[in-house]
A = this chain, B = another copy of it.
Amino acid sequence: MSAPRRAPGGFPVVGIIGGGQLARMCAGPAAELGITLSVLAEAPDASAALVIPSAPVGDHTDVDAVLAFAAECDVVTFDHEHVPAEVLSALAASGVPMHPTPEALVFAQDKLAMRERLTALGIPCPRWAEARTAADVTAFGDDVGWPVIAKTPRGGYDGKGVRVVASADDLADWLERAAAEDSPLLLEEKVPFTRELAVLLARSPSGQAAAWPVVETVQTDGICTEVIAPAADLDTDTAARATEAGLRIAGELGVTGVLAVELFELPGGEFVVNELAMRPHNSGHWSMDGAVTGQFEQHLRAVLDLPLGSPKPRHRWTVMGNILGGDHPELYPAYRHVMARDPEIKAHLYGKGVRPGRKIGHVNVSGDDLADLRERARHAADYIEGAVTE
Q: Which residues of B contact A5 (CB under 8 A)?
A: 44-45, 50
Q: A332-B10, A332-B12 are in contact. Are A34 and B351 (CB under 8 A)?
A: yes
Docked-complex contact A332 and B28, CB < 8 angstroms: no
Docked-complex contact B312 and A314, CB < 8 angstroms: no
Q: A33-B349, A344-B309, A347-B32 are in contact. Are A354 and B9 (CB under 8 A)?
A: yes
Output the least CB separation between A300 and chain B (Å).
Answer: 11
Is the CB of A352 closer than 8 A to any CB of chain B?
yes
Docked-complex contact A308 and B343, CB < 8 angstroms: yes
Is the CB of A139 closer than 8 A to any CB of chain B?
no
A83–B361 CA distance with the chains assembled, in angstroms:
36
Chain B's closest residue to A55 (CB) is B53
Is the CB of A223 closer than 8 A to any CB of chain B?
no
Docked-complex contact A335 and B349, CB < 8 angstroms: no
Is the CB of A378 closer than 8 A to any CB of chain B?
no
Q: Which residues of B contact A44 (CB under 8 A)?
A: 5
Output the least CB separation between A359 and chain B (Å).
Answer: 13
Output the least CB separation between A244 and chain B (Å).
Answer: 20
Q: Which residues of B contact A335 (CB under 8 A)?
A: 33, 306-307
Q: A11-B332, A51-B53, A339-B301 are in contact. Are A34 and B350 (CB under 8 A)?
A: yes
Is the CB of A132 closer than 8 A to any CB of chain B?
no
Output the least CB separation between A281 and chain B (Å).
Answer: 18
Docked-complex contact B34 and A339, CB < 8 angstroms: no
Q: Mark A2-20, 1 if CB is under 8 A from B, else 0.
A: 0001011111100000000
Q: Which residues of B contact A99 (CB under 8 A)?
A: none
Output the least CB separation between A283 and chain B (Å).
Answer: 18
Docked-complex contact A50 and B343, CB < 8 angstroms: no
- 16 pairs across A/B with beta carbons < 8 Å? A7-B50, A9-B330, A9-B332, A10-B331, A27-B51, A28-B32, A31-B50, A32-B349, A34-B347, A34-B350, A34-B351, A36-B50, A51-B52, A53-B55, A307-B340, A309-B339
A-B contacts besides A9-B354, A308-B343, 13 pairs, CB < 8 Å = A5-B44, A10-B331, A11-B349, A11-B351, A27-B28, A31-B50, A31-B351, A34-B331, A36-B50, A292-B344, A292-B366, A307-B340, A309-B343
